[in-house]
Amino acid sequence: MQKVYMSQSIDVEREKEIKLFKMWQNDPLTGIRSLFGVEPDEQQKELIEAYRDPRARVAVKSCQGGGKTSCLTWLSYLSLLILPDCRVLITSPSYNQLSRVFYTELVKWKSRMSPRYRDSFEITKENVFLKGNKAQLGSLVTANPANAESLQGGHSDNYIIFADEASGIDPSVFETLIGTLGVGLTKFIACSNPIKSSGFFYDIFDKRIKGWQRLTFTATRSSLCTPEWIQEMEDTYGKDSDAYAVRVLGEFGKLSAEQFIPTDIVNHALSADLDVSAYHHYPRVCGVDIARFGADMTVFITRQGPKVLDMVAYHGLNTMEVARRLVEYRNKMNPAVIYVDGIGVGGGVVDRCKELGLPVKDIVVSNKATDPIKYANLRSQLWGNMKDWLMYGADIPHDDSLRKDLTAMTYDYTNKLQIILTSKKDMKRKGESSPDYGDALALTMADTVYGNTAITTKPRRIVRSNHLWA
């Protein structure tokens, strides 16, 4: 008799649970509150409400730190728990976004889950699933065209795609993902900081693609973004900047393949004619960009404060020849320091020049920036410093190659909203020439990164500009 009573008790509890899950299907907000003991803010509630549609198609462009990834994590757990025969695909263009950010969120929110359900889930680096029922599976798959087979998902009555940082997902991957949504009850929720003004995610908003519900998370409405942080973003970037639009307002800026240095700024520097009194008190610094391929040039540029004093370019030199030319150039221009791009063949030049006693400093432009909040790597930061330098009244030679390099450089944003310049490799893939003159001049900005200062403390005249950048 005791076994019968126990069986009846289990059946009663199961019936209660089934009724509870059906209620949560109709009211997922209550389900999230019950599971995690959290109160979503108003914007997260809008996303949770949109998820309630059995065939939801939702795109969310979000400010930085607006809680979109946490919301997707809550919905992932809730879906696997309450929806029968459920498969969840969790994807992002970045492996790091999945392995570090999303996986970390899964672990964090499992630890905060109601004890009644916490032990029901198991998490690995690639999956989250209900114990004893691996058919209820959530898979973490990088949104890479090479992963097309894994992105096909699987057949189930309830199939859900959660795409994080969707702005960076290749259009071909979006096509693959959408192609999996034809059978059963399917949902597709794509969230991202609006970092690219191109691609399918951008088109959902720009072209108002039919069938998609569009939401925007702004910092001013988020419970996670403080007024102090919003003010800091305004003070740092300005309200009219792209960075403020993306980070605070959750709006697209002019962020995709944009010209990094406006043409009129370069033209103003080309037309300048500074008196020697404007720059004589600054040390001379030299930047050297070493040729890597047959068509590239090895370029030496010497700058003294706001003025470029000299430029020289060579073609077809080997490393020993470059070192010899640098000895001659040092004797001619007498720079206090020579910054050399030491990646690849440049490393041999650096070693030889140090043997010869030249004041050479090796700059690895692929290293992390000293200002990692704004820039993705040191090369981007050096060009950013050069852009500031040009805006504040620089004087550069009338040279078509230099002008072309400075105006042709484009940039984008990383998923962390850091500025990143188009790489030389990508420029060559598009049929564009390597910006050897621009890179050499940018290397002279390493004195601002590493702290070299003027010989005297004479203040430098600042010319205000109307050109804003982020």
Can you name the CATH fold of 258-450? Nucleotidyltransferase; domain 5 (3.30.420)
Give the whole-angstrom CA distance, residue 380 versus residue 156.
46
Contact 317, 325 (CB under 8 A): yes
Please report the DSSP string for 370-432 in residue order. SSTTTBSSHHHHHHHHHHHHHHTT-B----HHHHHHHHH-EEEE-TT--EEEPPHHHHHHTTP
Contact 404, 369 (CB under 8 A): no
State the number of CA atoms in the 13 A half-sphere of 90 facing the CB.
Answer: 29
Give residue limits of the domains in the chain: 2-223, 258-450
Residue 154 is predicted with a pLDDT of: 66
Q: Which regions of 26-132 does DSSP assign to beta strands (E)? A: 57-62, 86-92, 121-123, 127-130
Residue 458 is predicted with a pLDDT of: 43
- Helices marked H in 83-199 — which ranges? 95-96, 103-111, 115-118, 171-178
Contact 411, 423 (CB under 8 A): no
CB atoms within 10 A of CB 172: 11
Counting other chains too, the contacts that 306-310 makes at CB distance below 8 Å and 24 or more residues apart are: 306/274, 306/278, 306/279, 306/282, 306/389, 306/392, 306/393, 306/394, 306/395, 306/460, 307/274, 307/278, 307/279, 307/394, 307/395, 308/394, 308/395, 308/396, 308/397, 308/441, 309/284, 309/333
Contacts of 210 (CB under 8 A, 6+ apart): none
User: For 166, which DSSP code?
Assistant: G
Q: What type of residue sits at position 185? A: L
Spatial CA neighbour of 215 closest among 178, 166, 173: 166
CB atoms within 10 A of CB 454: 15
Residue 213 is predicted with a pLDDT of: 97
Give the whole-angstrom CA distance, residue 244 versus residue 218.
11
State the number of CA atoms in the 13 A half-sphere of 295 facing the CB.
Answer: 7
Q: What type of residue sits at position 311? A: M
Are 2-223 and 258-450 the same fold in CATH?
A: no
Beta 410-413 vs 419-421: how paired, if at all?
Answer: antiparallel
Give the whole-angstrom CA distance, residue 158 versus residue 160.
7
Q: Note the CATH architecture for domain 2-223.
A: 3-Layer(aba) Sandwich (3.40)
Residue 452 is predicted with a pLDDT of: 42
Please report where in the chains the tokens 């980070």 appear, as a residue: 247
Please report the DSSP string for 218-285 in residue order. -GGG-SSS-HHHHHHHHHHH-TTSHHHIIIII----S-SSEESS-HHHHHHHHH----GGGTTTSPEE
Could you list the mean pLDDT of each consecutive 10-residue stretch along the chain, which spans 470 residues? 50 81 95 96 97 95 95 96 92 84 93 91 90 83 81 82 90 89 88 86 92 96 95 89 89 70 88 92 94 79 96 91 94 95 82 92 91 93 95 92 90 84 81 88 85 41 39
How far CA 44 is from CA of 28, 66, 106, 201, 249, in Å, comes to 12, 9, 17, 19, 15
Contact 166, 192 (CB under 8 A): yes
Give the whole-angstrom CA distance, residue 303 versus residue 322.
19
Chain centroid to CA 278: how far?
Answer: 38
Contact 179, 188 (CB under 8 A): no
Give the whole-angstrom CA distance, residue 266 versus residue 66.
37
User: For 89, which DSSP code?
Assistant: E
The pTM of the full predicted model, rounded to 2 decimals, is: 0.65
Spatial CA neighbour of 411 closest among 289, 265, 291, 254: 254
Question: Which strand (E) or helix (H) includes residue 136?
Answer: strand 133-142
Residue 289 is predicted with a pLDDT of: 93
Give the whole-angstrom CA distance, residue 274 versus residue 395.
7
